[in-house]
Structure formats: C-alpha cells, structure tokens
Amino acid sequence: MTKDLKKRVNRKFTHEFRKEAADQVIAEGRSVTEVADALGVPAGTLSVWVSKFRNGQWTLDSGLSNGTNRTNQPTMDQRKISELQAQLRRVTQERDILKKAAAYFAQSLG
C-alpha cells in the first residue's frame, strides 16, 4: 500500500444518527451527497440508510427493525410532525446564518 491511500476505518453509527441523516434526505428533500458531505458519511452508506427507511426495513420512530414487524410504521401525523421538525431545524439554521452575516456586515460598515 502507498501512503496516498487513506486508511479505511469502520465506524459505528447509532440508529438515532442514521435516522437523523436519512430524515434530512427524506423529509427535508436534501440530496444524499449534500447530507453525506455535511455529516462526513460516505454517500453510498447514506443512500443505503435512506433506502432501508423508505422501504420499511427500519422505522423512523423506533429502533432498528428486521422488516417483519410493520406495526411500527409511523402514522401520517407522526410523519407530518417529523417533516415539520426537520423544516424547523433547517429554518433555524438558516436564521442563525443570516444573523451572523448581518452582524458581520454591520461590523464591517461601522
């Protein structure tokens, strides 16, 4: 092996982390690549997580499921709440960025 090759590290991600990452793609409509880059996760790995949540192998409201128990599927209300929570997180992040930008420009003008 050469020094240029990156050492591959097997990282373990919690179900909550996987759920939040997949939720950013599913509920917020962000791209897999964008979310993967932001979280430092390989895009292929995130794509697999999203697929498992979408086809019901894992659920967004509980721990990992083997796909045989479909009773843990989120209701329409739970899905809407999840979407609204994701939207709130995104809007809050945007607001914080705008606050920082406004402070920066106000400081440079004054």
The rounded distance, in Å, linking the Cα atoms of 66 and 84 is 27
DSSP codes of every residue in 22-43: HHHHHTT---HHHHHHHHT--H
Domain ranges of the chain: 15-109
The pLDDT assigned to 92 comes to 93
Q: Which residues contact 37 (CB under 8 A, 6 or more apart)?
A: 43
Global model pTM greater than 0.75: no
In this structure, what token pair is assigned to residue 13? 């991600």
Helix (H) or strand (E) holding 15: helix 15-26
1-37 residue pLDDT tens: 445 445 556 778 888 888 888 888 888 888 999 988 8
47-86 residue pLDDT tens: 999 988 888 887 765 544 444 444 556 688 888 888 899 9
